[in-house]
Structure 1
Amino acid sequence: PRRPPAGRRGRVWVMRHGMRIDEQDVSWRDRSDRPYDPYITSEGRKQARAAGELIRRQALEEGAIRWVVSSPFLRCLQTAAEIANALGIATIYVDNGLCEVLQTRNVAVRPQYVRPDTLRLTDGSMARLSFENTGAPEPAWPEELSAARLRFTRTLERLPMDFGGNTVVVAHGDTVAQFVSLTKSVPEDSVYSVPNCSMVCADAFSPDGGAPVFSRVWVGPDILTLDSMVE
């Protein structure tokens, strides 16, 4: 998409992916050749569809969702597909800036991402969708949490500027937590629980074309924080 002019950039929903298979089957990692990239379970798909329906209802008041943007990890792509289908959106934009925190405890080897075009042949929820990469560079591996948090902040400030219009971002728990910290001005370590498919949304506004200012923030009630500022 072409970067829109300064002004209101739309409302942004940032959400975590659905339930992953290694939450249901703890031995899955030992059997998989891609233990860092689990797929979502049938329950995860139900969670994603429910989240898509919630966003669709909110969009009746906020205006239609124009864009869905996803981390390149499989669990996020699958969740994003369910969201896109619920919203009637045909294209998912894949942004490497939304990658999981690439600490070795999360990703023990440099990740190799699945090709969305391959997934379209094996995953029915993706059959009608197209995928476009935003061109954001892949983050360095391994990566410290502090570097990932800075990456998330820069990405979450960049996406409203690049896209404009109401946008759903599907990523990881640490990404959602960073958006809470960014929009509510709370310490980064204060958000300690981000359940599957929980979300935060906020209006993005850029008066001068620079980094957006976020307002009218809504934090899902299932996201838990140590700071009483987040309700």
Structure 2
Amino acid sequence: MFPSKSQTKFYQQHVLVMRHGDRLDHADPTWENTADRPWDPPLHQSGLSRAFQTGRAFRTLLPFPIHRVFVSPFLRCVQTASEVVTALCAVDDDPNAKSSRDVVSIDPSKVKVSIEYGLFERLNTTAIRADMVPKDGVFRFDVPKIESTLPSGTLDRTVEPVYKEMPQWEETTIGTQRRQEQTIKALADKYPSENLLLITHWDGVLVSVSSFKEDTRVTNVDYCGYSKLRRPVSWTNQTFTAGSFEVLTKSGLTGVTYNAN
């Protein structure tokens, strides 16, 4: 994994930051009327399919492999991760497959997955309506149960998250964006020899562009829209040095639209 003491190794690290797939509550607004957790909707069937197809595109079209996936614990993000990872790890993939249900077998050694609280949704009323917030203001997640829904063999239990606790309700928008930027940088620094996929919410994708591309304003992030970041990394004596992230995303081409001032 590391070059010998007498060598310096140079390469490019890639980080993709992706929004979850289509939400069920946006396709069926009546769903929330009987939901136990109206603030944590699952994916609509179209979202499952979109996530799977995006994962397949990553596997077949990207000029580099994805080694590790980090995901927000919200159900829509975890379901997105399950579809994407299944597509990335599929063995003898049927070209007609529309979702993970159509995949017979996977090779779980290809990608490892972990939950990361730093990729959390923005916790204020600009993202979650006040009438949907738990009465005590605490957004509870059964992490072991969430992890059990990920594709078998892909979960990495050894990973220590960047953020060990979830944000508090009424987090500011600036606070959310600062957290997302710190998480992107910290995860890249923890795994500088690996290419990462971060599955998060609108804000995470927005930050991944606006924080690393000067004077840029993101105007839209489609479901499963994603940004592409790249930075140079060098290893010497088991110590790495990394350059600044470059945003490779062209406006409108991967479901992210932005204006450069």
Structure 2 length-normalised TM: 0.74
Alignment partner, residue 204 of structure 1: 231
Letter in 2 for 1:147: G
Contact 2:20 2:80 survives alignment (8 Å): yes
- 1:184 is aligned to 213
Show CA shifts across 1:35-79 (max 9, x none).
1111011100111011101111233x22x2110110111111110
Of 143, 162, 169, 2:171 maps to 143
Alpha-carbon separation, structure 1, partners of 2:84 and 2:25: 22
What residue number does 2:143 align with?
A: 115
Partner-residue secondary structure (3-state), 1:81: helix
State the alpha-carbon separation in 1 of the partners of residues 172 and 247 from structure 2.
31
Question: Counterparts of 1:134 and 1:74 in 2: how far apart (Å)?
Answer: 21
| Structure 1 residues 210 and 170: CA distance shift in structure 2, 3 A | same
- Could you tell me how far 1:106 is from its partner in structure 2? 3.1
Contact (CA 8 Å) 1:16, 1:176: kept in 2 or not? Answer: yes
Q: CA contact under 8 A between 1:74 and 1:114: conserved in structure 2?
A: no
The residue number in structure 2 matching 1:11 is 14
Q: Is residue 156 from structure 1 mapped to residue 188 from structure 2 by the alignment?
A: no
Aligned-partner residue type, residue 167 of structure 1: L
Q: Secondary structure at the match of 2:212?
A: helix
CA displacement at 1:141 relative to structure 2: 2.2
Question: Secondary structure of 2:123's match?
Answer: coil
Percent identity reads 27
On the 8 A contact 1:45/1:79 being kept in 2, the answer is: yes
Displacement after TM superposition at 1:224 (Å): 2.1
Give the CA deviation at 1:128: 5.1
CA contact (8 A) 1:29 1:35 kept: yes
What is the RMSD computed on CA atoms of the aligned residues?
2.7
Q: CA deviation at 1:31?
A: 1.7
Q: CA deviation at 1:127?
A: 4.8
Q: Where in structure 1 are there 5+ consecutive unaligned residues?
A: none
Higher helix share: 1
Could you say if the C-alpha distance between residues 145 and 53 of structure 1 is closer, same or farther in structure 2, counting changes exceeding 3 Å? same
Matches within 5 A, 1:158-177: 158-164=186-192, 165-177=194-206
CA distance, structure 1, for counterparts of residue 195 and residue 46 of structure 2: 27
1:163 Cα offset (Å): 1.7
C-alpha distance in 2 between matches for 1:196 and 1:166? 22
In the alignment, is the contact (CA less than 8 A) between 1:183 and 1:217 conserved in 2? no
The structure number with the bigger radius of gyration is: 2
CA shift, 1:6, in A, is 9.4
Q: How many residues align?
A: 219
SS of residue paired to 1:147? helix
Distance 1:90 1:191, change over 3 A: closer
Are the counterparts in 2 of residues 103 and 141 from structure 1 also a CA contact under 8 Å? yes
Q: TM-score, normalised by structure 1?
A: 0.83
Out of 191, 213, 216, the position equivalent to 2:244 is: 213
Task: Please say if 1:31 is aligned against 2:16.
Answer: no
Contact 1:12 1:166 in 2 (8 A): yes
Shift of 1:215: 2.2
Partner Cα separation in structure 2 for residue 28 and residue 97 of structure 1: 28
- Give the distance between the partners of 2:188 and 2:45, measured in 1 at CA: 31
Cα offset, 1:11, TM superposition: 0.7
1:223 aligns with 2:256: yes
